[in-house]
Amino acid sequence: MQIRELSIPDSYEITPRQFPDDRGVFLEWYRFDRLAEVVGHPLDLAQGNSSVSKRGVVRGIHFADVPPSQAKYVTAVHGAVLDFVVDVRVGSPTFGQWDSVLLDDVDRRAIYIAEGLGHCFVALSDNATVSYLVTSTFNAEREHGIDPTDPEIGLVFPEAAGDVLLSPKDTAAPSLAEAEAAGLLPTWGAARAYYEQLNGKA
């Protein structure tokens, strides 16, 4: 597989090698050792999630308190989504910026999103099925959201998404500036210290 760091530090696009034949196709969509080589440590996986979304559904922007937050390894097993990583770490050189990866059942890419980063996607097809491997179990008290339509962040949803649909919770989420003012956002320093701890250097 090929692993490429995105423009947001500590996030990566993973492109697997596929082996098609007359029966179908085989691929490795997750390899802990290959990812550990670039991340600096193996992932301690704690939970696996799946979501099924109709075209236009937006999920996110979600993030969790650091530490431990929740690193995510995400792929689409059916259909297509445009997946966004948003830097919500106050003090980061790319704070407020984002990058994206098309996840679909053709190229079968995945995205790795480190602890403290924001995550969001928009479904580009009906029954878009996304699978997530995550490093901590869900804890509602430590989970937060940012309005994915916040113009300060400026996520661009493709025309293929059509009319977007958000949950009431995501619609009511604060803007990036409001979340920062409320002290909800992780800091660059805390995130980096936690990464160093995971890498065994602290």
> pLDDT tens digits, residue range 35-77?
999 999 999 999 999 999 999 999 999 999 999 999 999 999 9
Q: How confident is the model at residue 202 (pLDDT cuts 50, 70, 90)?
A: very low
DSSP 8-state code for residue 90? B
Pairing of strands 58-64, 143-145: antiparallel
The stretch 19-41 carries a mean pLDDT of 96
Query: What is the per-residue pLDDT across 71-121, written as a single tens digit (0 to 9) for each?
Result: 999 999 999 999 999 999 999 999 999 999 999 999 999 999 999 999 999
- Active-site residue set: 62, 132
Enter the tokens of residue 134. 């995550």
Alpha-carbon span 122 to 70, nearest angstrom: 20
Alpha-carbon span 40 to 125, nearest angstrom: 35
In angstroms, what CA-CA distances link 178 with 6, 67, 181, 184?
26, 21, 5, 9
Residues 6+ apart with CB under 8 A from 190: 66, 67, 116
Query: What single letter denotes the amino acid at residue 158?
Result: P
Pairing of strands 80-86, 72-78: unpaired
Alpha-carbon span 34 to 133, nearest angstrom: 15
Determine the pLDDT at residue 48: 98
The residue extents of the domains of the chain are 2-198
Q: Which CATH architecture has domain 2-198?
A: Sandwich (2.60)
Is the confidence at residue 201, as pLDDT, over 80?
no
- For 10-20, b/e burial (b = at least 16 CB within 10 A) is bbbbbebeeee
Q: Where would I find the H helices in the chain?
A: 32-39, 168-171, 176-181, 188-198
CA-based angle 125:75:200, to the nearest 5?
155
